[in-house]
Amino acid sequence: LDAICKALEMCGTWDKILLTNGGSVEGDIIYCDEIKEWRTKYSKLRFFNERGWFSTLIFGPKFFAESLDNEGGKSLIQVPNETMIQIQLPGTEKKKIEYQIYQIDSCIFGYQQIPDWKNISLYLDISEDDSKFIQEDGDIVYEVGQIINNATVDFHHKDGIFFRLDSSNTGMCFSNKITKFEWNMRDMFFTVGKQFDVEITAVKEIRGQIKYQVKPLD
């Protein structure tokens, strides 16, 4: 799993910077407040200096970005002249390159955010507890048709056999739910402490308590 997470982290967001000299760089555009907002709102930004060379010489540049949002809409946003954009290159070294705004023609954003792969479950460990449903009050409730794995024979009753489903609940298998031979030989077939997979066949509430009926599976 560590290797998988490391590989996924290397995938990043798949951004792309197109440079004014015709080159391009792919990787992850590093977050700052402006970049984070851009990534959320826009899929592409094309930068340009609104002023001509003479006005730029006298007054300095005035940069704007023609933005394409995630819905296909276009708008103009002003970009501070001192804006620097940093991109992290793919690979384990995580090398970073920084560009000034005048060096960049456009930015194309990949994913809207870099996933925190360390906090994302790639699989779920399914145990015997997957057959339990927890109510708001903390009680475990089972449903008709559920299979409870490794239920334990708790004790023999004159009307049937009780199975321990978990630390708080038992289920009753009535004698008419098994063969007469099995019932007569219950001390051998259903030894106390022996484990069976059982199915919930009925759920009833009696005097505020939930009672379960079960049958062992072959």
Q: How much is the pLDDT for 197?
A: 93
**What does the pLDDT read at residue 131?**
46
Boundaries of every domain in the chain = 2-119, 128-216
The two structure tokens encoding residue 67? 């933005």
CA distances from 137 to 105, 131, 133, 140, 141 (A): 59, 18, 11, 9, 11
Residue 151 has pLDDT above 60, yes or no: yes
Q: How many CB atoms lie within 10 A of CB 76?
A: 11
Q: Report residue 40's pLDDT band, with 50, 70 and 90 as the boundaries.
A: confident
Q: Report the distance separating Cα 165 and Cα 154, nearest Å.
A: 9
Quote the pLDDT of residue 114.
52
Chain segment 103-149, per-residue pLDDT in tens? 999 998 876 555 554 555 555 444 444 444 544 444 567 889 999 99
pLDDT at 126: 40
Rounded distance between C-alpha atoms, residue 216 and residue 155, angstroms: 14
141: burial class by Cβ within 10 Å (0-12, 13-18, 19+)? middle
Specify the pLDDT at position 152: 92
Average pLDDT taken over every residue of the chain: 80
Q: Which residue has the higher pLDDT, 218 or 139?
A: 218
Q: What is the pLDDT of residue 92?
A: 66
pLDDT value for 36: 72
- What pLDDT is stored for residue 207 in this prediction? 75
Q: What is the pLDDT of residues 178-211, one digit of tens each?
A: 888 889 988 888 988 899 999 999 988 877 788 8
What is the pLDDT, as a whole number, of residue 174?
Answer: 92
| Closest listed residue to residue 166, CA positions, set 205, 210, 207 | 210
Structure-token pair, residue 48: 């340009």
Which one has a higher pLDDT value, 115 or 27? 27
Per-residue confidence (pLDDT) for residue 153, from 0 to 100 = 92
pLDDT at 47 (0 to 100): 93
Of the pLDDT bands very low, low, confident and very high (cuts 50, 70, 90), residue 83 is confident
Q: Kindly state the average pLDDT of the residues 52-65.
A: 91
Fold of the 128-216 domain: OB fold (Dihydrolipoamide Acetyltransferase, E2P) (2.40.50)
